[in-house]
Amino acid sequence: MSLSLAAREQEGRIALVGLGREGLASLCAGLGLKPFQVSEIYRWIYGRRVLDPLAWTNLPKEARAALAARTSAELPEVTGEQVSSDGTRKFLLRLSDGQAIEAVFIPDGNRRTVCVSSQVGCAVGCAFCLTARMGFRRNLTPGEILGQFFVLEERTDIREVGYNAVFMGMGEPMANRTNLEAALAILEDEEGLGISWRRITVSTSGLADQMEAFARSAVCPRLSLSLNAPTDELRSRLMPVNAKCDLRRLRSVLQNLSRRDRERISLEYILLGGVNDGQEEAEAVARFAKGLKVKVNLIQFNAAEGLPFVPSDAERTRSFQAVLLRRGVPTSIRKSRGQDILAACGQLARNNWPGGGA
């Protein structure tokens, strides 16, 4: 959970990034500022990314000085960067309590994507994921989620070029839904970071109750369900979360979404050689997807030391896709990026860094 303003005050200065309109209004209480001036502050921080109150030139000088004295422009600190041969860049970020997360910048021609984390570690325990090996440390605050965007904008050209954002880094976003929604409200706000919901995808392992609530929220962008197996037996082996939210439950969540919400959904399927990539599984995925009008993204598994799987070969991958297409399910094969620096899907874990991270 994010800290309340009072709690943060007790710790010293208040971190500006992460405060929504309400938080800013209470920060400004007693400074004699009008509501429109609080809105100005919001635009300075998020619209213009200016975190120094002394530079907020359209506010009275005394208010600026008071705000400078009580706030901090704290962002995650970059303590490592790795660059892949394909241009992907992975950043190791240290948070104020010393915990570390990763965020990834993925350029592709003129297209830019950033992959960000929602938790330190993860409790879900997917068998094919290195983050799972870290276990769960804690949720990120709204400010720490947003801080990754500030840092990546500073270090890359994404702000000029425009970018897509995927919540597919460390953590299960639905297990940190309150803070995620607070961050998305600022991310998607035209006066905030101004990234359209159409350009944001949140990936989940399938926490059904949270997915339902999230889909109803005003900030829900595109949602991606990490399916990875078409039977409960296999899915429970790969993703223990399936024992709590099985395929029948997940399918009914998707089915009950409004048409508009369903158009925002995709299914992710990591192809594990000889495990979930056969024709039989492809037929079963097609049956699962039938009638849901969802798109399927096939993802190449990224082998890593300690993970007991191999990638599906090119022929099995193509045949898997061919079955789905034949059954009328729109299916694409996602290119894997940043494999050589362990920046690809399921490879984020701070102990991949020389010296074991931060």
Residue 126 annotated as catalytic: no
Q: Are 352 and 344 in contact (CB under 8 A)?
A: no
Q: Total residues contacting ligand SF4 (rule CB under 6 A)?
A: 12
| Contacts to ligand SF4 from residues 68-127, by CB under 6 A | 122, 124-126
What residues between 311 and 350 interact with ligand SF4 by CB under 6 A? 346
- In the complex, minimum distance from the CB of residue 270 to ligand SF4, in angstroms, rounded to a whole number: 9
Residue 100 vs 126, nearer CB to ligand SF4: 126
Minimum CB–partner distance for residue 200 and ligand SF4 (Å): 17
CB of 226 to ligand SF4, least distance (A): 6
Establish whether 190 is a catalytic residue.
no
Q: Which region among 38-46, 101-109, 166-174, 294-302 touches ligand SF4 (by CB under 6 A)?
A: 166-174
User: Phi then psi for 175, rounded to 5 degrees?
Assistant: -80, -5
What lies within 8 Å, CB to CB, of 238 at 6+ separation is 126, 127, 128, 228, 229, 272, 275, 276
Q: Which residues have a Cβ under 8 Å from the Cβ of 149 and sit 6 or more positions away?
A: 114, 116, 165, 187, 193
Q: Which of 132, 180, 211, 349 binds ligand SF4 (CB under 6 A)?
A: 132
Exactly one of 102, 188, 268, 281 is catalytic; which is it?
Answer: 102
Q: Name the segment binding ligand SF4 (CB under 6 A); options: 9-17, 107-115, 168-176, 298-306.
A: 168-176
Instruction: Give the integer Cα–Cα distance in Å for 299 and 272.
Output: 9
Q: What are phi and psi of 70, to 5 degrees?
A: -100, -5
* Residue 160 DSSP class: H
Longest distance between any two alpha carbons in the chain, whole Å: 70
> Which of 107, 110, 108, 99 is closest to 141 using CA atoms?
99
The beta strands (E) that lie in 272-342 are given as 295-300, 331-334
Question: Cα separation of 288 and 251, whole Å?
Answer: 7
Smallest gap from residue 22 Cβ to ligand SF4 (A): 30
CB of 126 to ligand SF4, least distance (A): 3
Among 23, 107, 143, 171, binds ligand SF4 (CB under 6 A): 171
- Least Å from the CB of residue 129 to ligand SF4: 3
By CB under 6 A, residue 205 contacts ligand SF4: yes
Question: Which residue, 107 or 206, has its beta carbon nearer to ligand SF4?
Answer: 206
Helices 177-188 + 208-216 axis angle, to 10: 30
Alpha helices (H) along 156-278 = 158-161, 177-188, 208-216, 232-238, 247-256, 259-262
For residue 76, give the amino acid letter. Answer: P
Q: Between residue 236 and residue 275, which ones bind ligand SF4 under the rule CB under 6 A?
A: none
- Does residue 172 interact with ligand SF4 by CB under 6 A? yes
Residues whose CB is less than 8 angstroms from the CB of residue 296 and which lie 6 or more positions away in sequence, other chains included: 227, 266, 267, 268, 269, 285, 289, 324, 329, 330, 331, 332
- Write out the residues near ligand SF4 by the rule CB under 6 A: 122, 124-126, 129, 131-132, 170-172, 205, 346
**Known catalytic residues?**
102, 345
